[in-house]
């Protein structure tokens, strides 16, 4: 069997024909974890947050440093990841079969309490991110990493039995005949295939719009603006949710370059809620501590697992 090199993983991430199924994500992640075990890049613990680590690659890859990884969520063992991914797929099968009632089943309750869903999604996406961090220029992979996270969420929603697609719509601007505003939507999902007709104008009453980003940094306003503009231009309430992976980045702390900074702007989030509108759901795979301790944030922000076991089914109409 050919020995897998980091260059092979880079090529896989760039392959536009790959990642058509959840199994593809499992394969790239499992291969990366095995690569780390074999090659043993330098493992660095953040001095400011001991639950975050970094990998530093060899000289061959310019001693590039990965993004911070939350070891409370990140599976470092390929074997542990493999077993967890199998449980994750069984969980998705139960959701497809039982929908919101799945959370009341004994076997599902135990799985949900483990929070393993968040760990799987986090490990898969961060493994891809770490591969991207090895490129000579960050611009070579940044957009691709975001695209793959969006596709990952789309595949998960489809796996539990919903219709889900990206969509570009051209919205007419009221009062300006002949003028239209092009709008790209990351995700539009519904329980049953919605037939777009003239009376539903671009987005069906049973559909939900989703904004999917790896981080809210410099992007949080987009989700709120989507909700505001779609509702305003279409003349009815459009349900809009936002899904984020995390909100942390590497930062210099004292003499160390391995500190951690939060990129979540809580005051902006609350300001947009008041000035524009409240979103119909905000979900993080790796929530920041203040999202749990702050009452105002906690009532609006949940972890991604909550979206899968409950809110997805409440938001989407039969």
| Per-residue model confidence as pLDDT tens digits over 72-117 | 999 999 999 999 999 999 999 999 999 999 999 998 999 999 999 9
* Domain finish residue from 106, 127, 149: 149
Question: Within a 13 Å sphere around the CA of 15, how many CA atoms are in the beta-carbon half?
Answer: 15
Judgement on whether residues 57 and 105 belong to the same structural domain of the protein: yes
Could you tell me if residue 188 is inside a domain?
Answer: yes
- Which segment of 10-14, 32-36, 43-47, 170-174 scores lowest on mean pLDDT? 170-174
The C-alpha atoms of residue 41 and residue 57 are separated, in whole angstroms, by 5
Question: pLDDT at position 112, please?
Answer: 93
- The answer to whether residue 67 is domain-embedded is yes
Q: Are residues 223 and 197 in the same domain?
A: yes
Decide which of 33 and 103 is more confident.
33
In the predicted structure, residue 200 carries a pLDDT above the cut 60: no
pLDDT at 218: 83
Cα angle, residue 32 at apex, residues 251 and 56 outer, rounded to 5°: 35
Residue 175, phi then psi, degrees to nearest 5: 90, -5
Residue 203, in any domain of the structure: yes
Report how far apart, in Å, the C-alpha atoms of 274 and of each of 148, 223, 224, 227, 240 are: 32, 14, 10, 13, 16
Please check whether residues 83 and 184 belong to one and the same domain.
no
The stretch 226-232 carries a mean pLDDT of 93
Q: Indicate if 132 and 262 belong to the same structural domain.
A: no
The answer to whether residue 310 is domain-embedded is: yes
What pLDDT, on a 0 to 100 scale, did the predictor assign at position 314?
95
121 three-state secondary structure: helix
Domain boundary among 118, 149, 180: 149
Q: Can you say how many angstroms the Cα of residue 88 is from the centroid of all Cα atoms in its chain? A: 16
Same domain, 303 and 164: yes
One domain, residues 246 and 277? yes
Number of structural domains found in the chain: 2
- Residue 199, pLDDT > 60, answer no
- Is 45 a domain residue? yes
Q: Is the pLDDT of residue 9 over 80?
A: yes
The residue among 117, 149, 181 that closes a domain is: 149
The HSE-up count of residue 128 (CA atoms within 13 Å, CB side) is 30
The answer to the question of residue 1 being in a domain is: no
User: Is residue 172 very low, low, confident or very high in pLDDT (cuts 50, 70, 90)?
Assistant: confident
Mean pLDDT, rounded, for 239-256 = 92
**297 and 195 share a domain?**
yes
Query: Which residue pairs, CB below 8 angstroms and at least 24 apart, start in 134-143?
Result: 134/6, 134/9, 134/10, 134/57, 134/61, 134/64, 134/66, 135/10, 135/64, 136/62, 141/13, 141/14
Measured in residues, the chain has a length of 318
* Stretch 56-73: mean pLDDT: 95
Handedness of CA 143, 305, 92, 99 (dihedral sign): negative
Check whether residue 67 and residue 117 sit in a common domain.
yes
Q: Does the pLDDT of residue 201 top 70, yes or no?
A: no
54 within domain boundaries: yes
Do residue 137 and residue 168 come from a single domain? no
132 and 175, same domain (yes or no): no
In a shared domain, residues 215 and 276:
yes
pLDDT of 127 > 80? The answer is yes
- The average pLDDT across 133-157 equals 92
Q: Check whether residue 268 and residue 184 sit in a common domain.
A: yes
Long-range contacts of 18-21 (CB under 8 A, 24+ apart): 19/148, 19/151, 19/152, 21/155
> Higher model confidence: residue 192 or residue 212?
212
Which pLDDT score is estimated for 138?
Answer: 75
CA-to-CA distance for 160 and 32, rounded, in angstroms?
A: 27
114: number of CA atoms within 13 Å, CB side? 14
In a domain, 58, yes or no: yes
pLDDT at position 244, please? 98
287 burial via Cβ count (<10 Å: 0-12, 13-18, 19+): buried
pLDDT reported for residue 14: 94
Would strands 180-190 and 301-303 be described as parallel, antiparallel, or unpaired?
A: unpaired
- Looking at residue 296, what is its pLDDT? 93
Per-residue pLDDT, averaged over 246-252, amounts to 93
Q: Rounded CA gap, 255 and 303, in Å?
A: 34
- Note the pLDDT of residue 194: 65
| Host domain of residue 14 | 6-149
Q: What is the mean pLDDT of the chain?
A: 93
């Amino acid at each position: 069997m050919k020995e897998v090199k980091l260059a092979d993983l880079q090529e896989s991430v760039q392959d536009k024909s790959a990642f058509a199924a959840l199994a593809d994500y499992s394969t790239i992640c499992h291969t990366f974890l095995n690569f780390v075990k074999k090659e043993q890049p330098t493992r660095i613990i953040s001095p400011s947050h001991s639950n975050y680590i970094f990998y530093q690659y060899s000289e061959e890859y310019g001693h590039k440093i990965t993004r911070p990884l939350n070891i409370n969520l990140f599976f470092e063992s390929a074997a542990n990841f493999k077993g967890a991914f199998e449980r994750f797929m069984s969980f998705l099968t139960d959701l497809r079969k039982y929908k919101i009632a799945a959370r009341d089943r004994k076997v599902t309750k135990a799985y949900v309490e483990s929070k393993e869903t968040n760990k799987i999604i986090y490990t898969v996406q961060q493994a891809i991110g770490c591969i991207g961090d090895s490129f000579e220029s960050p611009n070579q992979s940044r957009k691709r990493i975001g695209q793959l996270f969006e596709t990952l969420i789309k595949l998960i929603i489809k796996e539990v039995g919903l219709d889900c697609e990206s969509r570009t719509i051209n919205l007419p601007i009221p009062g300006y005949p002949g003028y239209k505003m092009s709008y790209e939507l990351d995700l539009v999902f519904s329980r049953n295939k919605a037939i777009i007709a003239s009376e539903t104008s671009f987005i069906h009453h049973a559909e939900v719009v989703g904004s999917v980003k790896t981080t809210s940094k410099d992007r949080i306003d987009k989700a709120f603006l989507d909700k505001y503009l779609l509702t305003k231009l279409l003349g009815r309430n459009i349900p809009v949710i936002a899904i984020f992976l995390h909100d942390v980045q590497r930062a210099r702390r004292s003499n160390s370059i391995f500190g951690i900074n939060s990129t979540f702007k809580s005051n902006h989030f609350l300001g947009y809620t008041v000035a524009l509108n409240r979103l119909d759901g905000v979900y993080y795979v790796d929530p920041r501590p203040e999202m749990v301790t702050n009452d105002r944030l906690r009532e609006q922000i949940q972890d991604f697992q909550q979206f899968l076991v409950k809110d997805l089914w409440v938001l989407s109409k039969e």
